[in-house]
Amino acid sequence: MAGRTVRIAAVQLRMGTPAENLDKHLAFIDQAATERAQIVLFPELAVGDGPEPLDGPTVTRLRHAAGDAGIYVIPCLMEQGQDGPYVTAPLLSPTGEIAGIYRKSHAWPEWNHRLGSEYPVFDLGFARIGIMICFDKRFPEVARLLAVQGADVIMTPNSSDAKGERWEPWSEPEVFRMYHQMRALENGVYVAATNKIGPVADTECYGGSIICNPTGRIVADADVTEGMILHDCDIDLVRQVREYRLCNRRASTYGGLVG
C-alpha cells in the first residue's frame, strides 16, 4: 500500500519590481493549486516593498490568494515588528488565515534586522512542517530542533548569491546543495529549499532550488531557470527514516553545545 504523501511546490523567482514580484507570487499560487500542491514555498525576501506589518497589504493579498486557492502558502518578507524589522516567513492557511510565523534566527553581524528565537513546528494534519530561513541552514542545531519536535518537511526560503562562502574546492551553489542535503540526511526529513535567480541589488543569485528526500537525495531541481518544482513527499518514509536516524541520540551528553 502506498504511503501517505504531501505534494509540495517550491518556486524559484527572478526579481522585478515589488508589484511584479507580488503578481508572480499570485500566479504561482494559482499554478501550485492547479498542480494539486498542498503547500507552496517562495524565496527569502521575494515579496514586499520594505518593512511592513503582517496585517499590511502584501500579506493581506497573499492570504486572500491562499484562501482562494485552498492551499498553504509560505512567502518571506521583511516584517515590521513592534520592536523592529524581522525577516519573517508567515504560514498562510487554505482558509486565508495566518496559521503561524517563523522569524529568521541567524544572520551576519552587519545585517540590520532583529532575530527570532523560537523554532515552531506546525501540524497541518497531513504533515508537520518546520521553517528555517537562508543563513539558518548553516547551523545544524536549527534543523535538529525541528526534527526532534516531529517535523516531516523543513521549508527553507533562501536569497543566496555568489558572495557567500568560497571555500575550495566547492563553489557556492555546491555548498548550497550540500547544506540542504545534509540537513535532510542527518535528520531523516524532506527539505525544500527555494532561491532567487538573477540580479538582486548589487549581487547575483544563482538559483539551484531543490527538494531533498530523507536520505539526502535531490528529488527535484529547478537548476537555473525561473519556475516551480513539485514533489510528492512520503510521510510514512520520513517517520521510518527519522526514527532510525535519531533513536540512538544521547541528548543528556550534549550540554556542551550550549554556550
Say how far residue 91 (Cα) sits from the centre of its chain. Answer: 11
> Would you state the pLDDT for residue 171?
73
Residue of 170, 218, 173, 215 whose CA lies nearest to 192: 218
* Residue numbers of the chain with a pLDDT score lower than 50: 1
> Which grid coordinates are listed for 174?
555546491
How far is Cα 44 from Cα 196, in angstroms, rounded to an integer?
8
> Would you state the pLDDT for residue 34?
98
How far is Cα 187 from Cα 7, in angstroms, rounded to an integer?
20
Q: Is 228 exposed, middle or buried (0-12, 13-18, 19+ CB in 10 A)?
A: buried
Residue of 229, 228, 237, 160 whose CA lies nearest to 197: 160
> Would you state the pLDDT for residue 111?
83
Is 254 inside any structural domain?
Answer: no
Query: Phi, psi at residue 170, to the nearest 5°?
Result: -105, 150
Is 256 inside any structural domain?
Answer: no
> Which grid coordinates are listed for 109?
553581524
Is 127 inside any structural domain?
Answer: yes
Q: Are 208 and 195 in contact (CB under 8 A)?
A: yes
> Would you state the pLDDT for residue 124?
98
Radius of gyration of the chain, Cα coordinates, nearest whole angstrom? 17
> Would you state the pLDDT for residue 1?
40
Query: Phi, psi at residue 69, to the nearest 5°?
Result: -80, -25
Largest CA distance in the chain: 52
Is 92 inside any structural domain?
Answer: yes
> Would you state the pLDDT for residue 243?
86
Residue of 225, 228, 192 whose CA lies nearest to 207: 225
> What residues make up the domain containing 220?
5-249
Q: Are 107 and 135 in contact (CB under 8 A)?
A: yes
> Would you state the pLDDT for residue 210?
98
CATH code for position 234:
3.60.110.10
> Would you state the pLDDT for residue 202?
87
Q: Are 210 and 27 in contact (CB under 8 A)?
A: no
Is 259 inside any structural domain?
Answer: no
Is 75 inside any structural domain?
Answer: yes
Cis amide leading into 53 (omega within 30):
no
> Would you state the pLDDT for residue 165?
56
pTM score over 0.85: yes
The count of structural domains within the chain is 1
Is 44 inside any structural domain?
Answer: yes
Is 142 inside any structural domain?
Answer: yes
Instruction: Fill in the DSSP letter of residue 4.
Output: P
How far is Cα 246 from Cα 254, in angstroms, rounded to an integer?
14
